[in-house]
Amino acid sequence: MSNLETAPQPRVCGGRDDVSGTPVHELLTGKQVPLGESTVVRRLLPSMGRRMVGAWCFVDHYGPDDIVDRPGMQVAPHPHIGLQTVSWLHAGEVTHRDSVGSLATVRPRELGLMTAGRGIAHSEESPRDHSPLLHGAQLWVALPDGHRHTEPHFEHHPRLPGVTAPGLHATVILGELDGARSPGATYSPLVGADLTLAADAAVRLPVEPDFEYAVLSMSGAAEVDGVRVEPGSMLYLGCGRRELPLRAATDSSLLLLGGEPFEEQLVMWWNFVGRSGEEVARARAEWMTGTAFGEVHGYAGGRLPAPELPPVPLRPRGRTR
């Protein structure tokens, strides 16, 4: 998916100054952002005051939307550098095409993982014969400096490992949870897991005290560490837990996102994660002139132009610790 804001503001991310070393409760309710002509998403990250959770640097939640007589998701070819994108669906399908020749249709609870590395372009669309509902999350993972120029590639993992306990089934999307490891490539210590809770479930999920965590509610009525999290909202939890109490009043679905606090400073603008304003401006120019990123074949329509750069130079902020 793409950041389709017409005047995106630069975001300086990373560093430990906004990481809570102890358990906290910080409820993020998201901001409504139009995505293309037919989709509105709730943007949970980056948000006011919270820029990252581990290496997770972008979280959009969308739907469930009735798209019976509508095109559904239609995101034209656009570029990325320095990040991975994770497509995660609870309903519907998304067809992915990219400039290294990948073509895949991702379905609910399958992992579509694109590592942009030094640069890739892709499109994402609901197929013509699509399901009536579209519901999912679009997530980005920042790549650490040692891996951010890696070769771009796409992975489709239809089957993922799970962890089961009474009242809980967890699907490991990325990284590792309770000994189960996703086959998706990772470049920093992190976890992403889809948690299905049965009505009246009360579980204590083992987590890493050195990771910071957040939980996004996808559906249902669940409490995370005693805090009710409505669907489309996300609770930031900080670090310092060995287990996370979860309760569900009805059948519920949560996304657990966590990771080692990401210490590098980033400049995040539009669909680029870089280390300097010059690098981001160069990526923008290469997209607009067509001198990098390659071609996405098979998408019916033109490509997305980049917005204008803001007048103020993009600069990463220095580390505070």
Q: Give the binding-site size for Mn ion (rule: CB under 5 A).
A: 2
For Mn ion, which is the closer residue by CB, 114 or 197?
A: 114
> What does the alpha-carbon distance between residue 186 and residue 174 come to, in Å, rounded to a whole number?
7
CB of residue 115 to Mn ion, shortest distance in Å: 12
For Mn ion, which is the closer residue by CB, 192 or 261?
A: 192
> Helical H runs in the chain?
277-289
Which range, of 2-10, 207-215, 251-259, 302-310, touches Mn ion by CB under 5 A?
A: 2-10
Residues 20, 238 contacting (CB under 8 angstroms): yes
CB of residue 289 to Mn ion, shortest distance in Å: 20
Which range, of 1-9, 65-73, 212-220, 261-269, touches Mn ion by CB under 5 A?
A: 1-9
> What does the alpha-carbon distance between residue 203 and residue 284 come to, in Å, rounded to a whole number?
46
For Mn ion, which is the closer residue by CB, 141 or 244?
A: 141
Nearest to 90 by CA among 204, 191, 220, 183: 220
DSSP state of 188: S
Structure tokens at 253: 């679905």
Q: 190: which strand partners?
A: 259
CB of residue 114 to Mn ion, shortest distance in Å: 8
Contacts of 286 (CB under 8 A, 6+ apart): 79, 119, 292, 293
> What does the alpha-carbon distance between residue 242 and residue 162 come to, in Å, rounded to a whole number?
20
Of all residues in this chain, which one has the CB nearest to Mn ion in the complex? 2
CB of residue 87 to Mn ion, shortest distance in Å: 9
CB of residue 263 to Mn ion, shortest distance in Å: 25
Enumerate residues 260-279 that contact Mn ion by CB under 5 A: none
Residues 46, 236 contacting (CB under 8 angstroms): no
For Mn ion, which is the closer residue by CB, 222 or 304?
A: 304
CB of residue 5 to Mn ion, shortest distance in Å: 13
For Mn ion, which is the closer residue by CB, 1 or 44?
A: 1
Q: Is 74 in the site for Mn ion (CB under 5 A)?
A: no
Nearest to 59 by CA among 173, 165, 141: 141
Determine if the peptide bond prior to 209 is cis (ω within 30°). Answer: no
Residues 211, 20 contacting (CB under 8 angstroms): no
Q: Is 2 in the site for Mn ion (CB under 5 A)?
A: yes
Q: Is 186 in the site for Mn ion (CB under 5 A)?
A: no
For Mn ion, which is the closer residue by CB, 140 or 213?
A: 140
Q: Is 22 exposed, middle or buried (0-12, 13-18, 19+ CB in 10 A)?
A: exposed
CB of residue 33 to Mn ion, shortest distance in Å: 14
User: 10 Å Cβ neighbour count for 300?
Assistant: 9
CB of residue 96 to Mn ion, shortest distance in Å: 9
For Mn ion, which is the closer residue by CB, 210 or 295?
A: 295
For Mn ion, which is the closer residue by CB, 2 or 102?
A: 2
Q: Tokens 């005047």 sit at which residue? A: 7
By the criterion CB under 5 A, which residues form the site for Mn ion? Answer: 1-2
